[in-house]
A and B are shown apart, each in its own frame.
Chain A
Amino acid sequence: MEEKKKTGRGTPFLAMRGIYKDFPGVRALDDVDFSVKLGEVMALVGENGAGKSTLMKILTGVYAKDAGEILIEGQDAQIVDAASALDLGISMIYQELNLIPTTNIAENIFLGREIKRRVFIDKKEMHRQAKEIIKMVGLELDTNLLIQDLSAVQRQLIEISKALSVNARLIIMDEPTSSLTENETELLLGIIKELKQKDVAIVYITHRMREIFEIADRVAVMRDGKMVKTLDARKTDTGEVVRHMVGRHIDTLFVKEEAPITDVVLEVEGVSTKDFLKDVSFKVRKGEILGFAGLVGAGRSEVMRAVFGIDKKESGTIRMHGKEITINNTVDALDNHIGFLPEDRKLQALILNMTVRENITLASLKALAKYNFLDKKRERAMSDEYIERMRVRTPSMEQRIKNLSGGNQQKVAISKWLATESQVLILDEPTRGIDVGSKKEIHSLMSELAKQGVAIIMISSELPEILGMSDRIVVMHEGRVKGELMRQEATQENIMQMAIS
């Protein structure tokens, strides 16, 4: 009895101490302490980029820590790869599940450790054991069913049972309910409560406060790579958690200049898409910078993709200068003088194998052509103009864009739209992953453009950037517009409150 108690509920399972991790140019983890007990649900929260994923990746052997120690049941643990983490009883259930859609339940559970009789796979035994395993999470399913035919929650549960079957003692769940319906969420939370009874330790990463207060024992809050506070879930509330999450130091000086804000340019009304966006409306005026805040996955990029004609709209109307327009594809958007800087510079904005010149002029070719023949002299003049105006640092306009730094690439990607003389400029995370100098240059350019009468929509996951640059802020949550704040009334706290609940 005594023996058992020692490793039972309430005994510390994991302790991470003084963890550091640097990525080029940024300290991702800064002296982080983190612990979980057996039979405990530890919620891990923080804004995008706070360091939650990095911390968990160190725990599961995806990244190597730069400094610090990891103790498992008081013993120094060497986690060098995914296999050593599994051996120590640590399993992670990823947002994108690691199941193979075209294979069946039993095959997935025993993937890589198939039960064999001599050289052949013992299917009968595998299915028998698989049935037992999924019963642990309350699933009574034919193990011959293919993963692709299961519902989202069933797949989650199979992942969990798979983890249990390898004797996982600590299970990390990364936003497990983000793709589940309300009923499914309840089912999953119920299973998590049962796991607690079985003395499994759980790290639960989520943005949903309601779930935290339903199942978590403690809440660890991260911000800017630091562990800010670990709270007792019974003695705290959403307000306190949010306060610790935000409170981010505003150390960047934002180059926001007042521009006269006049007539409405773009008006979006009731845009919905087939399975995600619900009745999204907003408008943006000449000279205004409209910020779009929300968590990753709140639907901000999706709104812009629908408005710009990349994704199909189920319903909704778009007006430019009060006149209704039809945007069925990106050509329509360009013709209506809308520009769109997508989120992923390399995958969506640039042709990496082409030169700086070719990238700058890609959206303006029509204006540079006569009878379809490109006027190369004018093309070079246009490239020169924007390289100079945007201070793009490149040896020449003939340099391939892939050889430029991230900040300079971004300047070229923005130049492409400036060259088309857009009246509405949609910028999706315009400064993500670029150096501080370029960041400032892009901010001052945004101010300058607003002064020239361009209507700017800026999506950003950095609250200081939203607060620093926006005249007005739209907050989105799970495919809907949650609310709108004027520059004067917006704070990190009230934006985050809207974004998470």
Chain B
Amino acid sequence: MVDQSEQGLVKIKKAPHFLKNWATSIVKSQSFRIFIVMVVMCVVMWIISPPFRTSTNILSVAKNFSTYAIAGIGVTLVIITGGIDLSIGSIFGLTGVIATMMFAKFNIPAFPAVLIGLALGTLLGLVNGLFVVRANLPPFIATLGMLSIARSLAYIITKGYPVVGLGKEILFLGQGDILKIPTPIWLMAVIAIIFSIFLNKTITGRRIYALGGNEEATKISGINTDRLKLLVYSIGGCLYAFSGIITASKLGVGQPTAGNGYELDAIAAVVIGGASLTGGAGTIAGTVIGAAIMGILRNALVLLSIRSHWQQFVIGWVIIIAVILDQLRVAKN
């Protein structure tokens, strides 16, 4: 009897407690905090800059950061496992060139042409993974090599010339819109939702977090950590490729130089979004907001007529301050 009533009490106490926990965990979460930062930035710009308020401007900001976000989502998975990928920009450039060539030079319809680009990106990601898993290379080295190799291939294949002559089917990816909202934003939203579900609702997602949290313990729990690594690098490659193809379509040309240095922006978005480079932490929402913050920042600097040379300077500080704040938060907990 005593036991039962005690249990009852516990349950009654637990229910609101649980809800409160849930609410506080959202408020306390890194994504929420940087979401607030983003909102504050928007409010400030809204007040001080009339051109910022126009829907054209806001859509163009979103359209611009969506490709960063898509690549960022790919590398978020890699970073959660405790890895890193430096080959983002090169895979981005090479696959953009390949997909546009398939379309423009070999007259392959847009859809299969894009698929070929995505498949190539996935394959290059898989190769990264194989270097890490089979050759036991540190991810930094493996993907540094790929950065160089993939970029070089883009030059070799195009002989250094941009690929032109893109038709409207393939241009739709980067320049079209659905319900007045640019296609890249739709694509980003769909990809973000798919991978949020993947990370939070599937057992593979759970295992990816576990791997980054403690590789040895994950392995000893009977989980094939090698396969997980191959998976995240492959997904990464696929998403960098998608980002690259959308960008080529946006610009209307396949540039072998496209995406030079893109890896740093993508990784910056992930880090601002609260992921830890030591693994085990990071969210898709965080990465999308991180990419948005960088996009809004770029836009703000342009609108406030600050010379473009200052862009990198400001972004550099944003990265450093974001991580310092995050470390303070972790230390406090």
CB-contacts of B63-96 with A (<8 A): none
Q: Residues of A contacting B203 with CB < 8 Å?
A: 365-366, 368-369, 372-374
Measured CA separation A341–B229 after assembly (Å):
24
Per-residue A-contact encoding for B223-235, CB less than 8 Å = 1, 0 else: 1100000000000
Q: Identify which of A340, A374, A398 contacts B220 (C-beta below 8 A).
A: A340
Per-residue A-contact encoding for B184-218, CB less than 8 Å = 1, 0 else: 00000000000000000111101101100110111
Whether B280 contacts A334 by the Cβ 8 Å rule is no
Measured CA separation A348–B216 after assembly (Å):
5
Measured CA separation A92–B218 after assembly (Å):
37
The residue among A334, A342, A365, A420 with the most chain B CB atoms within 10 A of its own CB is A365
Verify if A352 is at the interface (C-beta below 8 Å from B): yes
Whether A348 contacts B202 by the Cβ 8 Å rule is no
Give B207's nearest chain A residue, CB to CB.
A365
Give A417's nearest chain B residue, CB to CB.
B221
Whether A331 contacts B213 by the Cβ 8 Å rule is no
Whether A354 contacts B223 by the Cβ 8 Å rule is no
Per-residue B-contact encoding for A305-344, CB less than 8 Å = 1, 0 else: 0001010000000000000000001110111000010100
Whether B21 contacts A372 by the Cβ 8 Å rule is no
Per-residue B-contact encoding for A342-383, CB less than 8 Å = 1, 0 else: 100001111111100010001101101100111000000000
Measured CA separation A351–B278 after assembly (Å):
13
Known: A342-B220, A353-B280. A365 touches B206 (CB 8 A): yes
Q: Residues of B contacting A472 with CB < 8 Å?
A: none
The residue among A331, A351, A354, A358 with the most chain B CB atoms within 10 A of its own CB is A351
Whether B206 contacts A374 by the Cβ 8 Å rule is yes
Whether A330 contacts B219 by the Cβ 8 Å rule is yes
The residue among A333, A353, A363, A366 with the most chain B CB atoms within 10 A of its own CB is A353
Report the minimal beta-carbon distance from B67 to chain A, rounded to whole angstroms. 28
Extra pairs beyond A329-B224, A351-B280, A369-B203 (12, CB < 8 Å): A310-B220, A330-B221, A330-B223, A348-B220, A349-B217, A351-B218, A352-B213, A353-B281, A358-B206, A363-B221, A374-B206, A396-B21
Measured CA separation A87–B272 after assembly (Å):
50
Report the minimal beta-carbon distance from A433 to chain B, rounded to whole angstroms. 17
Known: A365-B207, A374-B202. A354 touches B213 (CB 8 A): yes
Verify if B222 is at the interface (C-beta below 8 Å from A): yes
Whether A362 contacts B201 by the Cβ 8 Å rule is no
Whether B221 contacts A416 by the Cβ 8 Å rule is yes
Q: Residues of B contacting A362 with CB < 8 Å?
A: 206, 210, 217-218, 221, 223
Whether B222 contacts A351 by the Cβ 8 Å rule is no
Whether B222 contacts A334 by the Cβ 8 Å rule is yes
Whether A310 contacts B219 by the Cβ 8 Å rule is yes
Give B14's nearest chain A residue, CB to CB.
A396
Q: Identify which of B202, B209, B222 contacts A363 (C-beta below 8 A).
A: B222
Q: Residues of A contacting B221 with CB < 8 Å?
A: 330, 334, 362-363, 416
Measured CA separation A437–B67 after assembly (Å):
56
Q: Identify which of A350, A358, A369 contacts B202 (C-beta below 8 A).
A: A369
Known: A366-B203, A368-B203, A373-B202. A349 touches B209 (CB 8 A): no
Measured CA separation A98–B223 after assembly (Å):
36
Measured CA separation A123–B6 after assembly (Å):
77
Report the minimal beta-carbon distance from A349 to chain B, rounded to whole angstroms. 6
Report the minimal beta-carbon distance from B70 to chain A, rounded to whole angstroms. 23
Known: A369-B203, A372-B203, A374-B203. A352 touches B214 (CB 8 A): yes
